[in-house]
Chains A and B, each alone.
Chain A
């Protein structure tokens, strides 16, 4: 028996390997797409040309033929066309991949379709073990895809588990990563800290800008301010340093003049 109760024929074309699809196409006298085409292209052709003749051919369960209508509403197929999905279906499918999509409106549709395509591709190309199947599923590698055929069947079952695991792992990793920078920041802040018996040494902190008697020279205002106020602040901020610079400039000039006179 088959591992999952899916009312499909024994050989669902989506689960066939690319080379298998190709040989099927050839045996049905269907013109092959260009050599470097992705599995999707072969699958589409297979669905169009081969599966119509399925009644006579493959499946032992004659009831199952209904499902080969192209562009069918089987959301659990690995390669639905994002463009053909309804807004709701698109959103649901994205949710399956853990993407909490916002509203699918005219201006967002394209972005979400693109995202779904990326997810579908990476899902079709990666298997249980990403390292292994990266080799197995590469388009140029014929031999590997025979093995990939078997991987396919196991995949969808464990797919969901994998996604959940990946999400958990991701969260754990995030937590771990968060801890490390915190420890390092302390060292960075106090690089010159001498080690004392307790291991902690801190230098006195510089006065905080914005505290009493230290007016903020620059900073983002908390409340919206009118443009004129901001301009005034801007000008004030700049005047002081430039003023000092000009003063220093003249002092230096005077000194040089003084020296040149006395030489």
Chain B
């Protein structure tokens, strides 16, 4: 079994639809609020940013850190979550 969290599994199991941004793995209340303030109020908006950065790991993690102050683990979780979602549905 992989070391992904329950949140990750739930997110990658289905299309994200209108899920809020804190449905993303690695994004809790605090980070979610910061992202919402910057206009990233839904998970799909963060997905948009992920895609526009061409799914590049380093760039996305940097962006996440700069935008909401995510630490390395949170960056990793969020990136992994979105990447797997894209692999399944995009």
Listed in ascending order, the chain A residues whose CB lies under 8 Å from chain B are 100-103, 105, 107-108, 110-112, 114-115, 220-221, 224-225, 227, 230
Knowing A220-B88, A224-B89, the reply to whether A111 touches B14 (Cβ < 8 A) is no
B62:A230 contact, CB within 8 angstroms:
no
Report if B66 contacts A (CB, 8 A): yes
A105:B14 contact, CB within 8 angstroms:
no
Report if B52 contacts A (CB, 8 A): yes
B89:A108 contact, CB within 8 angstroms:
no
* Majority secondary structure, B binding face: helix
A103:B52 contact, CB within 8 angstroms:
yes
Name 24 interchain pairs, CB-CB below 8 A, sorted by A: A102-B52, A102-B53, A102-B54, A102-B56, A107-B52, A107-B63, A108-B59, A110-B63, A110-B66, A111-B53, A111-B59, A111-B62, A111-B63, A114-B62, A114-B66, A115-B59, A115-B62, A220-B13, A224-B14, A224-B15, A224-B89, A225-B14, A227-B14, A230-B14
Residues of A within 8 A of B5 (CB): none
A102 and B48 alpha carbons, distance in the complex (Å): 13
A225 and B13 alpha carbons, distance in the complex (Å): 8
Interface size on B, residues (CB 8 A): 17
Minimum Cβ distance to chain B for residue A209 (Å): 12
A110 and B67 alpha carbons, distance in the complex (Å): 10
Residues of A within 8 A of B14 (CB): 221, 224-225, 227, 230
Report if B81 contacts A (CB, 8 A): no
A108:B66 contact, CB within 8 angstroms:
no
What does the 1/0 interface line of B55-84 toward A look like (CB < 8 Å)? 010110011001000000000000000000
Residues of B within 8 A of A105 (CB): 52
A112 and B56 alpha carbons, distance in the complex (Å): 12
Report if B47 contacts A (CB, 8 A): no
B53:A108 contact, CB within 8 angstroms:
yes
Report if B27 contacts A (CB, 8 A): no
A236 and B66 alpha carbons, distance in the complex (Å): 42
